[in-house]
């Protein structure tokens, strides 16, 4: 199913300088821009309020890294491992995560706009109290992910695995999950109003109401 809205993709210059992530430590304020970082291990790095703009990251490992209040604009992560990394309370704008490992990644309290997650592994990811506007998840695994108390505006889940995802206190009005697969999701009935589901999914939700659907 096609998306009902358009998002603005990252604006990356055609030519980028090869850089080392450690260059940020030489700046008075941690800042990285107009560069590409490839085949690097940055596990458990910790920087508060890091700013990156117009950056391409390929085959970079950020396992367990901590970047609270990070500001990233026009950034592409390709085949990166961000498992258990922390981007809580960050600003994430015009960013693409492509074929990335995001197990347990923390986006709690973050503000995401014009963001794509494509073919990512994001089980147990944390989006608690995050604000997502114009965000598309495509063929992404989101089992046991936590989206409680989120604000979702123009968000699409396309062919994703949402099994055991937690939408507690999150309004799903206008959210299309009809192409997704799940056995069970955690959501209050009042927050399902206006959510777009498939006929098969509707039968499953009917059981929450105590209804018995006859064939």
Kindly report, residue by residue over 145-187, the tens digit of the pLDDT. Answer: 999 999 999 999 999 999 999 999 999 999 999 999 998 899 9
Q: Which helix (H) or strand (E) holds 200?
A: helix 199-206
pLDDT of residue 214: 56
Domains, the chain, ordered by start: 17-209 (2.160.20.80)
| Dist CA 93 CA 55 (whole Å) | 12
Q: Write the burial class of residue 26 (CB in 10 Å: 0-12 exposed, 13-18 middle, 19+ buried).
A: exposed
If you average pLDDT over residues 109-117, what whole number do you get?
Answer: 98
If you average pLDDT over residues 188-199, what whole number do you get?
Answer: 88
Kindly report, residue by residue over 50-97, the tens digit of the pLDDT. Answer: 999 999 999 999 999 999 999 999 999 999 999 999 999 999 999 999
If you average pLDDT over residues 120-127, what whole number do you get?
Answer: 98
Q: Which of 27, 33, 37 is nearest to 65 (CA)?
A: 37
CB burial of 128-138 (b: ≥16 within 10 Å; e: otherwise) equals bbbebbbbbbb
The torsion angle over the Cα atoms of residues 140, 191, 130 and 123, rounded to 10 degrees, is -30
- pLDDT of residue 123 exceeding 80: yes
pTM of the model: 0.92
Confidence label for 1 from pLDDT (cuts 50, 70 and 90) = very low
pLDDT of residue 210: 54
| Dist CA 136 CA 44 (whole Å) | 28
If you average pLDDT over residues 111-122, what whole number do you get?
Answer: 98
Per cent of the chain over pLDDT 90 is 77
pLDDT of residue 201: 85
Kindly report, residue by residue over 3-15, the tens digit of the pLDDT. Answer: 678 899 999 999 9
């Amino acid at each position: 199913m096609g998306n009902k809205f358009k998002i603005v993709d990252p604006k990356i210059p055609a030519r980028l300088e090869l850089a080392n992530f450690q260059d940020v430590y030489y700046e008075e304020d941690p800042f990285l821009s107009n560069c590409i970082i490839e085949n690097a291990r940055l596990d458990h790095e910790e920087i508060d309020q890091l700013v990156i703009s117009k950056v391409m990251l390929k085959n970079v490992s950020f396992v367990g890294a901590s970047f609270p209040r990070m500001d990233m604009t026009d950034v592409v992560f390709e085949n990166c491992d961000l498992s258990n990394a922390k981007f809580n309370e960050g600003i994430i704008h015009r960013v693409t995560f492509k074929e990335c490992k995001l197990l347990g990644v923390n986006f709690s309290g973050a503000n995401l706009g014009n963001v794509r997650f494509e073919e990512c592994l994001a089980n147990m990811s944390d989006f608690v109290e995050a604000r997502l506007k114009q965000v598309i998840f495509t063929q992404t695994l989101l089992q046991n992910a936590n989206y409680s108390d989120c604000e979702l505006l123009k968000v699409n889940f396309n062919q994703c695995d949402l099994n055991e995802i937690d939408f507690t206190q999150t309004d799903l009005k206008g959210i299309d999950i009809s192409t997704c697969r799940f056995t069970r999701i955690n959501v209050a009935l009042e927050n399902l109003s206006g959510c777009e589901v498939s006929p098969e999914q509707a039968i499953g939700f009917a059981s929450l109401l105590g209804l018995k659907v006859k064939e």
